[in-house]
Structure 1
């Protein structure tokens, strides 16, 4: 199987994992403790494999594309947070629901965004160069955004005693991935290892989703009524992000491939980067983690549509007769 084929059909793998996890959790509730214990190391491994695919060495190259970079940063870190704030105003008075959506909608994607950009005729090279910038900025800005936009008492919700495992499970894989990237830059063996690690994120994320479902089947079934709300918010966010990306691309004078890449960057969110923080929340906040998982599944279904919509409708290539007309006018 080719890696691109695996990534193209990943959404069905995740949906199957959710259904299997819910079935296992319901039929064998004693597996919940085991699943909860396995979740953190598997999540750490997932983050490590994903971070090895984020080329930190390409950060300087990203800033050579100034108009594209400016549009991506403006869209992801100024306009979309304002959109998220507006959407949250219409949510039910449920702080866990609101926090879950804030966590996941405020952080741009740094993994499958590249795959979908490639599938949707975008510029995979620019997407790859952009990802480390997005990763660093979201880790720095997320606490500020939550302080600004959330009504929850973050000092209680993100108490150091509860949150330190999530910090470790994000920062430790990130540090190991940076060491791996440095090794890969010096040795062919390291480059081969990084190439093999590129296969890991999709199956590992499927395992993570399965373990979350097994460990939290009660909370999932209890919160299933929230699915229409999450579906509505995520789809509205997706629609607004696509419209904004079209406007930004036009203002910045971006080419078709750049515009498509910008659209995928703004439409996808970094669900599993914030999943550790959602899972580390104290008792009573389980809904936040369920919302993060729900959002990722809804988004993946939306990406199936976007792979068709973005290159054919939002940023369509000029038709042959249109190109002849332009040439003739010259």
Structure 2
């Protein structure tokens, strides 16, 4: 089974592949108001200042969706996170090869979760592998594998003392709490793709510890790094859980076209964006939807208020850096997306 064949399974006779971006002309015809809402929200967010890192910043290097490939160069950092889909077929041998590669990297801590292609790691999909593919066990070595599990790391960070004339490096310790979970809304056969649940089912509420600093999932949250137009491939229940926890960093992958990072400010502008994106309008495509237009206006009004508060008064409310760390370049079967690096 090759990567291209697995991707092909996502296509259906009923419509285009939801893991491919919808052409702009089709969006203009199908969801013109949501297209306006999307760009208004992201323009305001882009203009805002970046969140201020901690006084003892920890550098987190984020990758995902390597699908049996290895990267020749990965930026240095304190914590390396892989957010799933290490492999194509998910056999023991493929997973072990990826683990061995990750362990060869110089990062102080390495944290990994599973993806839907990592079949062996889900006991429900393991029988779909042939006997040779599922024989043996995985030696995780120094990799922290999180499967609905919490991890607390104490990271030693070197920083210069601004009060010292010699600017000598001082070592400080920072405690980082991580939580990793691999489940995704169904995108393929339940017997083959790992850790799936029926789309629309709530598999997230009250599952993430409240003191989580870094949340690692394979699926994106709804409307963030998930091809949000016209419908979005992420999970709406995960988005609500991220809002409840408000971690400093949320790392995911799965939707290759959504690779990149952005900041979600948990304020009225974001609330209006989500409310608007959730608004259905089947026959008029949103053009006659008062609720949708109200949220477009609210994004502009609340976004402008928050932007002034940020730029004039230096105010910053609660936020989460969202990182889609997919390395696979779109549906090419080749790596090509940049490695994402975040200081928190």
The TM-score range, normalised by the shorter chain, is under 0.3
Q: Which has the higher contact order (CA 8 A, sep 6+)?
A: 1
Greater helix percent: which structure? 1
Q: TM (normalized to structure 1)?
A: 0.25
Q: TM (normalized to structure 2)?
A: 0.24
